[in-house]
Each structure stands twice: as structure tokens, then as C-alpha cells.
Structure 1
Amino acid sequence: MAQQIELTQTVQDSQLGQRLDQAIAEMFTDFSRSRLKEWLLAGKVSMDGQVVTKPRTKVMGGEVIVLQAELEDEERWEAQDIPLNIVYEDDDIMVINKPRDFVVHPGAGTPDGTVLNALLHHYPDIAEVPRAGIVHRLDKDTTGLMVVAKTVRSQTRLVRALQKRKITREYEAIAIGRMTAGGRVEEPIGRHSTKRTLMAVTPTGKPAVTHYRVAEHFREHTRIRLRLETGRTHQIRVHMAYLQHPLLGDIAYGGRARIPREASVEVTEMIRQFDRQALHAAMLRFEHPVTGEEVEFHAPIPDDMVVMTEALRADTELHGLNDEF
């Protein structure tokens, strides 16, 4: 039996001039671009109450888009017995510590094996909650804390808190280069103009704000702590690259290895072989959606970042800091 879906989204001002097929791909991220285009051509998409079947139709911002379609049973998400590192759980919420190489939500190229599939196995009733209770996401190779809602009521309240910037998310990262001091990045983020799987700072993007502070200086790297006000895709990675301090290991956003002068062979190889963005969601604080109590959770820095930090610290102690920034 097919599952009926009806989803409504409003075109953002930042999408002005986009083709309709591009716009809906950004709105309805649970589905692949090809599936959305099939539905569009089949008359399953309406704009301001009028069915639209031409992918090249331009959007101006403010239009109400309604997607009405059917999902066959075999296309629905499956429960899979995948271990979850659960930091906290009660009747309403779950907080997990996500490891690297773990995609949060099924999508193009990753139909299963995700956090969502694991959640469905751990708590089958979560299938009744939109997106299986997922409130916010982490990139595949970003580690750390995520909160998941186990009921529709909890999800509604957590999403509202996230939109009102009442959920505090703090990250630890290793950036390339010597950063002189902390600060704030307030630059809009949107889809990259040519590399469609990446994001970029762009005048037509959505507002994005990242706060950062220096935790420790190394010779050619800086350990930093960051807090998000907004939650755009790849936000920290994009903002740090914009500052010309991309994250260690983040090849997608320009994180080419930088080797300190006269570094040992061991440290040199560790830097070159660090194969993910050095980014970890270390702290999460919010009001419990049911009790109203403020709760705070911490996830220890993962081993790969700990070992890298210790190596950079030892290298700095051995050679000393160059005071010229």
C-alpha cells in the first residue's frame, strides 16, 4: 500500500530566480532530485494553488509550494540494526553521539545505513514522527551530539526552539593557519554556483552566523571552539574557509595540508593522513521540550582529534611559537 505525502514549503527570498526544480530540491531534501523532478513532471507539485509541470519555471520568493505524491512501500525507510551511542534517553527525547562515516538521513547515494534507519530499529514508534524525529543534522564525517525527538510534540517544540536560536550547539575544531583571536562570522550561505554538492558564502544565500574563539595556538594550526546561531548546511566548514582558515582534513573546502617547518616525519604524516574535517559537536544545551528543564550534554573529543591535537601541541612545544602572525 502506498504512503500518501503532502508537504508544504515557502520559497525563500534567497531563491529568487531559481528554476522550480532547483528550488524544490533545496526545500524537500528527503527526496532525490530525480524523484522530485519525476513528481514535478507528473503534476504532483503546485505553486500558489496552480499545478506546475515545467522544471524551468522561475521562482521569485514567497510562493507556497505544495508537494502531493505517493511513496510505494519499498521506498519507505527501513529499520536496521545499527548500533547507536546513546548519551541520554527518556520518553520524549534521545541524545546520541554520532561517530564519523555515519550519514544522518537517507538520500541520493545513501539509501540506507543511516542514523534514521538505526533510530527506527531502536524505537519503532519513532516512525510516526516526521523524519523519524531528527531535529538537526551533522555531516557524514562530523562527530558529536544530536538531539532526536521521540514524539511529534517534542519534535515540534525542539524545531521551534532551534528556529528561535534557543538551542546552544558548541563545536571543537582544528583550523589550518594561525588565528589571532576569536570573532563572529555573519555571512549568508547558499548553494555553490558550480559545485552543486557544496555550499558557499553568497549574497543570495540564507543568513548564517557563527561565533568562534581560539582555544589553543599551534605552529601552523589553531584549536578553536565554535557556537552556531543558525544551522545552514556545512556552515562551520564554509565560514572557516571564508576566513581562509579551513578545517584540517576538509579537502572539499580547501583544507590542504600545511606542514610546520622542520616538523618530524611522524607529525608530517599525521597531518597529511587526517582524512576528515576535524570537527566535533561537543556540547548541546536546550530546554527539555516537555519538562521545560534546562539540560546540557557533553561528548568527549574523539580519538583521532585528540591524537592530532597532542601531536600538534608536542610539535609546538618542541619548536616554539613564531610570534609573527
Structure 2
Amino acid sequence: MTQVPNTIQLEASTEAAHFGLRLDQTLADLFPEYSRSKLKTWIQDGNVSVNGEVITVPRHKMQIDEVITVHAEMEVQVNSVAQDIALDIVFEDEHILVINKPADLVVHPGAGNPSGTVLNALLNHVPDIDRVPRAGIVHRLDKDTTGLMVVAKTVPAQTHLVDQLQRREMSREYEAIAMGTMVAGGVVDEPIGRHATKRTHMAVREDGKPAITHFRVIEKFRAYTHLRLKLETGRTHQIRVHMAHLKHPLLGDQTYGGRPRLPKGASNAFIDTLRGFQRQALHAAQLSLFHPESEEWMTWKAPLPRDMQDLLEAVRQDTKENPEDMI
């Protein structure tokens, strides 16, 4: 384990949703990558200012359009070990790393996954990344979601990228296969929070955090739809929860969609394909952001992985064999 002090500098403005909230609650919403206890300690230690005035009371009530600034020292602890795990690197320089994550790879160690993660691979590939909080991980993909994610190799780069996420400047686009036939695209603007009884699940709920997902139809089939989706916010399981809310859960998503719905008249080969696809059909296909050093707008693309390509071809073939069921 290593312990390295790092200077944390954060800034954000409050929105309508923060009106009347406590300062510690507002910080937790604006800077979710830091623990609530750490944020509270920073407030009490005089490391947080509101409109230029240092506030040391966590229960201080917030107004709209206030500028919150955090300037603090943080001891970064990395308990994980470096592991020689191959990374599909799409781009790398001295500031950032963009990878194409495969399925069945957890991003960050946790309960049930103490090692064998993206973080362990990063510690091996960039040994001094242990000086950056969370080993530079800025945003996550679910274990079984494939595609692009960016990692910061320095603290300033991480601060810059996190700020882009909070300002909704970073663009993340996905491809997915949803159950049911959708005839048009649209927007889901529904808040997401922790499920009331299933603590590992998320759900649409009135007291949740704002969540907005844009989607359009790429191709429709007799029982499924190939979608392109763009996140305006980045809540946990956002696409999966929003699509389930529309009654079009992602194919293979047993958490939010249950077992695959078999269309009538499906061939045995197609049924075997559906049952053999053991993850949600979701892929982070495109990532765009401002480079933290040069400020250049950069875009990367990752093609659909083979398993989703094969699944799409099977769905397409099923529709050809049952054209009378097309809407």
C-alpha cells in the first residue's frame, strides 16, 4: 500500500436542485467521486468556500448559482496490487489513457472482486498512477458493458476530466439492443436513485438525481430494436434503468429486464443464441472530450464487439424468417 499527498482543487456552481440542501449534501452530489465523510472533513477543516467565503458548517443551507470551491490535501491510499492484465489501449499520452474495455472485466476492486480489475491493470501499465485518486479512473462501465472509458494519469488531468463530466461537456454515446420494437427515438428525463428495497439496484424515483438519456433507432426488428444512446448525465446503470422504465429493457439484462422474452415462432438456433448471450447488450461506442492539457476536442470510436455483432445478425435473421410480425 502507498500513501501520497495530493492537492485537490475543485469548483462547481449550484443548480436549482441544490436549493435548500446542506453544504455537505450538495458537495456529495457535485463531487460523487469523493466519500461523504471526506467531504464533511474538508468542510470542517476550512477547505471549502462558497462565493469566496470559507464555510466550516456542513449543515449550511445552499442557494442557487453559488460557486463552491474546494482546496484540500488528500492522502491517496492504493491497497490494490499491480497485475499484468492486458489493456486494449485506444489512445495514450502523458496525461490520459483511453481504453476499450471488454466484457466480464470489473473497473474497480470491490466486494467479490478484490483483484483482476481495470485498476489492477492500470497500476501495472502506469506504476505511478497510484498517486492519482482511484488510480485515475474518472468514470466507470458496468462489468458486462463493453467499450470506451478514459483514465487520467495525473491529478490535474483527473480534475479537468471530472469537471467536464460535471459540466456535461464530455460526450458518451452507446449502442444497445433493446427488447421490443421501438418506432422512434426520444429522450428519457427521469431522476434515478437507489432502489427502495433492492440495495444493489437503481430505479426511477422522484427523489433521485436528475438523469437524462437521448436515444434514436438505428434498426428495428420484429421483437428487438438496435439503438444509439447519448448520456447527458452519468448515473449508475442509467441507460439500463431508463430503458427498463420505457418497458424496453436491454436484451440480456437480467437485473432490470429479467429472462429473455422469446418471440413466437423463433427457431431453436435463435433461442440458443438468446440464451447464450449472458450480459446486457450495451457498448460504449464513442467518447469525446476536451484534452486536459491541449484543450483540443478529441473523439474515439470502438466498433461493436464480436458477441454483439453476432447477436445483431441473429436478430436480423429471425426477422427475415418472420417478416409477417414486423410492425
How far apart, CA to CA, are the structure 1 residues paired with 2:324 and 2:216? 19
Say which SS state the counterpart of residue 255 (structure 2) adopts.
helix
Write out aligned runs for 1:149-188 (5 A).
149-188=152-191
Shift of 1:223: 0.5
After TM superposition, list the pairs within 5 Å mapping 1:92-241 onto structure 2.
Answer: 92-241=95-244
TM-score where L is the length of structure 2 = 0.80
- The total of aligned residue pairs comes to 304
The CA deviation string for residues 121-162 of structure 1, in whole angstroms up to 9 with x for no partner, is 101121111111111110010000001111112111111111
Return closer, same or farther for 1:154/1:49 CA change in 2, 3 Å cut-off: closer
**CA distance in structure 2 between the partners assigned to 1:241 and 1:60 by the alignment:** 37
Query: What is the 5 A alignment of 1:236-255?
Result: 236-255=239-258
Q: Secondary structure at 2:269's aligned position in 1?
A: helix
Q: What is the letter of the counterpart of residue 215 of structure 2? A: Y
Of all paired residues, the percent bearing the same amino acid is 55
Deviation at 1:77, TM superposition (A): 2.0
Q: Structure 2: where are the runs of 5+ without partners?
A: 46-58, 63-67
- Distance in 2, Cα, partners of 1:289 & 1:30: 20
- Equivalent positions of 1:64-103 (< 5 A) are 76-103=79-106
Distance 1:295 1:218 in 2: 34
Q: Distance in 2 between matches of 1:93 and 1:181?
A: 37
CA distance in 2, matches of 1:8, 1:293: 22
CA–CA separation in structure 2 for the residues paired with 1:2 and 1:99: 28
Q: Residues 45 and 212 of structure 1: is their aligned pair in 2 closer, same or farther, counting only changes over 3 Å?
A: closer
Residue deviations 1:211-258, cap 9 Å, x none? 000111111110100000000000000000000000001010024311
Gaps of 5+ in 1: 51-58
- Using a 3 Å threshold, how does the CA distance of structure 1 residues 28 and 297 change in structure 2: closer, same or farther? closer
Aligned-partner Cα distance in 1 for 2:34–2:210: 22
State the Cα RMSD in Å: 3.7
Query: d(CA) in 2 for partners of 1:70 and 1:126?
Result: 14
Aligned-partner residue type, residue 305 of structure 1: M
Counterpart residue type for residue 49 of structure 1: Q
